[in-house]
Structure 1
Amino acid sequence: MAHYTQAEQGKRHASHVIFGFPRRYAADEVELALPDVAAARTLMGAALQPLDSALAERHAQLAPLLSTELDSDALLARCADVIRIGYARLARRHGSFSAEFHAYHNEEHILDIFSGRISRLIAANGVSALGLRDWCVLDMFAACHDLRQREEPMYEAGVGANERASIEETFRLLDACGFSRESDAELYLALDLTISGSTFDARPPPGGAAFNAAELVQSGGALAAKLAQKLDKHRPGWRDEERLVHAHKLALVAADLDTANVAEPFNRFAASAENLCLEREMLCHRNLDDGESAQPVLGFLTDGQDRFFFDLHRFSSELGRQAFGSAKEENAARLKSLSLGLRARIAMRGKPENGRQVLNAYGETVAGLVQA
């Protein structure tokens, strides 16, 4: 086996780097502690069972495609290893096995996309809508696109630092699970573009002021909608590269999966908004029992949600629209009622003392709408 220096490896794998920004995110303690499935199982034990069940269900869903790909069982096994390890790493960093819990970006978010939304995509469009390796890309995207959540914000080609770090870790994870950057190049390329496209407005504020990425959750939609323009600028001629064109198609589908909380049953949609709010306040170092949290929480759960749902969010792919479009429309009227109802409840009770009071009022308003 040939041995390469780090610089030689960078040149050797340059073809997998779409936008050409520096690769600078080293493995952290969690990545080093969870290098394989055995370590993931040791950490999580029975807590890995929901994912194992979802993986078995996915294998059954993909059964009609298994004859279309050489060594398809081996492909799915490697894919499952990536997903299990990614799931455990996110659980250890920011989920149920972490001291730095993120209310939204934890291992449950992986299950929401992997088990719930991709299954809905298959049900709505048919498993033959994409190839076996395409479904593998989307499954691994679900597990890997949010692996890193605490990187210092940095804007390069519209791709956020968290996403760039997640891409690098994903590449190392694929390597460790038996994928090849040569023979599986299209998988690396597609994961690079799908994870890049999941960035939510990574721009710094005007004037270069310091900022917290959590404040930008609702300032712009997913980068996927602008990926074609970014590729035109940073990868001229990409439309003549079949693999890149196909990766772009998958990136649009992946973005729809990531933002399809707008199409969840209304109580789940409302809960996802609350979790995003909790995570945002935590990352902004605001205590929900302090007065300074009242207006940010109220703004997020009213104007912020309305702006994202009605102005910023658009399904980017036809597959996404088919699977989630009608359910989003069903949530629209209820979201308007939720925002109006929360404002009315707050106005009736007087100015809230803190964010926790706003969240309590939000929960009461949601309960009333769900029961109606």
Structure 2
Amino acid sequence: MALTYTAVAWWRAWPHVILPFPHEFAEDAAERSIADVAQARALLASLAPGLGAALERRRVALAPIIPDGDIDRVERADAAVELAYARLALRHGSWGADFHAYHNEHHILEIFDSRIARLMQHVGIQALSLDDWLLLGLFAACHDLRQREPAIYSAGVGSNERASIVEGFRILDLAGFERTRDASFYIGLELTIAGSTFDARPPAQDWEYNSVDLVQSGGALASKLDVKLDKHVSGWRENPALIHARELALIAADLDTANVAEPFARFVETGMRLCQEREMRCHRATSEVASALPVFGFLTDGQERFFFDLHRFNSDLGRQAFSGDKQANAQPLKALTMALRARIAIAGKPASGDEVINVMRTLTREIESRGLR
């Protein structure tokens, strides 16, 4: 969406973020190690050649709406995706020493190369503009860049998301975007990443064995982003750039949580990966007995609560593309969690989180073999 003169002037009058939260997040070792697009591409050529194929698939899909000879924005967006992917792979992914089982470079591709493609297929490439599709790809690449910031919320936005926004801006700069000329990309990236925040703070209980606390407890901030903007950004409803960015934030949040609409075994696997990451963050190895009950709680009560109570699609396009497949997973999920509870009840307290995960994988295969999904 092209910005009007008024919107550009409005953007110049603000600091580098829309919402009034602290944004002094310095470069870390991963940023310094992969300082520019050229360094990222050199690493990707040998360590992640599949990303290039994903970028090419997106160019082919976008071809009908790319103006003749106007490939520059696509090339800049591709460069930003490459840089973000390489940094996340080094920081929390398969290239580095702080591996996160869920929030790693593969999650970028889950959204960028799979869910966005499904959205395009369901709603049509003409449903959004070229810049909108590019921005959703940038969201996929940048929204989880940081995962180790202290759990502090400001204007409802988590510190990981705020840090990812600030680094995302630096990535756009390095990829050739300009903050005035390309203001809509910066505005859109901020609000889409901010809207992906889930408030994971547990209630004041013994959270270690309370399964309800082991899933994100507030839903995506995107559904409440208009309320946050009303509170913190006077006049935003008169600004077309912000109105549009907020609409994209709803779609982005739907893409981020559309694991509920993946083929059933893949959906279950995403839950197990998130569980494994959470155990790591709680300093428990899933091979230890201390992880057995937290893992069991997460994969039963926690999964059900997330799927049936907390998760909602926020945008019309998200509902159109994903709600049917989510509903198809409802009955198999109930069957799976009931079977897991029954198996553990018969076998007794599991010896470790790994035992729970292995049982769940076996039960998933059994459910699929019976044709429930």
Report if TM-score (shorter chain) is over 0.5. Answer: yes
TM-score (norm 2): 0.91
Deviates further, 19-28 or 184-193: 19-28
Number of the residue aligned with 1:28: 28
In the TM superposition, what are the counterparts of 1:70-89 in structure 2 within 5 Å?
72-89=70-87
Q: Deviations over 1:292-320 (max 9, x none)?
A: 21111001000000000000000000110
CA distance in 1: counterparts of 2:214 and 2:360, whole angstroms: 22
Of 193, 209, 213, the match for 1:195: 193
How far residue 205 of structure 1 moved from its aligned partner, in angstroms, is 5.1
Q: Does 1:176 align with 2:174?
A: yes
Number of the residue aligned with 1:3: none
Deviates further, 344-353 or 330-339: 344-353
Q: Does 1:115 align with 2:113?
A: yes
SS at match of 1:360: helix
CA distance in 1: counterparts of 2:249 and 2:125, whole angstroms: 18
Verify the 8 A CA contact 1:145 1:195 in the aligned structure 2. Answer: yes
Of 243, 246, 255, the match for 1:245: 243
Q: Kindly provide the amino acid, as one letter, of the partner of residue 38 in structure 2.
A: A
CA distance in 1: counterparts of 2:321 and 2:12, whole angstroms: 39
Q: Deviations over 1:245-286 (max 9, x none)?
A: 000000000000000000000010010000000000000101
In the TM superposition, what are the counterparts of 1:196-275 in structure 2 within 5 Å?
196-201=194-199, 203=201, 217-275=215-273
Number of the residue aligned with 2:142: 144
CA distance in 2: counterparts of 1:52 and 1:288, whole angstroms: 34
CA distance in 2: counterparts of 1:85 and 1:136, whole angstroms: 15
How far residue 352 of structure 1 moved from its aligned partner, in angstroms, is 1.3
How far residue 61 of structure 1 moved from its aligned partner, in angstroms, is 0.7
SS at match of 2:146: coil
Q: Kindly provide the amino acid, as one letter, of the partner of residue 261 in structure 1.
A: N
* Unaligned runs of at least 5 residues, structure 1: 1-10, 210-214
Number of the residue aligned with 1:42: 42
Number of the residue aligned with 1:319: 317
CA distance in 1: counterparts of 2:49 and 2:43, whole angstroms: 13
Of 302, 305, 320, the match for 2:303: 305
SS at match of 1:72: coil
Verify the 8 A CA contact 2:200 2:216 in the aligned structure 1. Answer: no
How far residue 204 of structure 1 moved from its aligned partner, in angstroms, is 7.1
CA distance in 2: counterparts of 1:216 and 1:365, whole angstroms: 21
Verify the 8 A CA contact 2:187 2:242 in the aligned structure 1. Answer: yes
Verify the 8 A CA contact 1:289 1:354 in the aligned structure 2. Answer: yes
Matched residue count: 354
Verify the 8 A CA contact 1:114 1:143 in the aligned structure 2. Answer: yes
How far residue 203 of structure 1 moved from its aligned partner, in angstroms, is 4.8
SS at match of 1:352: coil
Verify the 8 A CA contact 1:155 1:202 in the aligned structure 2. Answer: no
Verify the 8 A CA contact 1:287 1:293 in the aligned structure 2. Answer: yes
CA distance in 2: counterparts of 1:64 and 1:193, whole angstroms: 27
Q: Does 1:161 align with 2:159?
A: yes
Q: Does 1:55 align with 2:55?
A: yes
Verify the 8 A CA contact 2:215 2:306 in the aligned structure 1. Answer: no
Of 276, 279, 287, the match for 2:277: 279
Q: Deviations over 1:58-116 (max 9, x none)?
A: 11111111128xx6301000000000111111100111101111111111100000000
Of 122, 125, 128, the match for 1:127: 125
TM-score (norm 1): 0.91
Change (3 A) 1:358 1:203: closer
Verify the 8 A CA contact 2:92 2:100 in the aligned structure 1. Answer: yes
CA distance in 2: counterparts of 1:19 and 1:206, whole angstroms: 28
CA distance in 2: counterparts of 1:287 and 1:246, whole angstroms: 43
Q: Does 1:14 align with 2:22?
A: no
Of 96, 115, 119, the match for 1:98: 96
How far residue 156 of structure 1 moved from its aligned partner, in angstroms, is 0.5
CA distance in 1: counterparts of 2:324 and 2:199, whole angstroms: 26
Number of the residue aligned with 2:343: 345
CA distance in 2: counterparts of 1:267 and 1:205, whole angstroms: 31
How far residue 16 of structure 1 moved from its aligned partner, in angstroms, is 4.2
Number of the residue aligned with 1:370: 368
SS at match of 1:50: helix
Verify the 8 A CA contact 1:201 1:216 in the aligned structure 2. Answer: no
SS at match of 2:67: helix
Change (3 A) 1:126 1:79: same
How far residue 216 of structure 1 moved from its aligned partner, in angstroms, is 6.0
Verify the 8 A CA contact 2:20 2:155 in the aligned structure 1. Answer: no
CA distance in 1: counterparts of 2:283 and 2:215, whole angstroms: 15
Q: Deviations over 1:232-256 (max 9, x none)?
A: 1111321111110000000000000
Q: Deviations over 1:307-349 (max 9, x none)?
A: 0000000000011011101000100100000100100111111
Identical residues among aligned pairs (%)? 55
CA root-mean-square deviation: 1.8
Deviates further, 76-85 or 343-352: 343-352
CA distance in 1: counterparts of 2:70 and 2:171, whole angstroms: 19
How far residue 48 of structure 1 moved from its aligned partner, in angstroms, is 2.4
* Unaligned runs of at least 5 residues, structure 2: 1-10, 208-212
How far residue 12 of structure 1 moved from its aligned partner, in angstroms, is 5.9
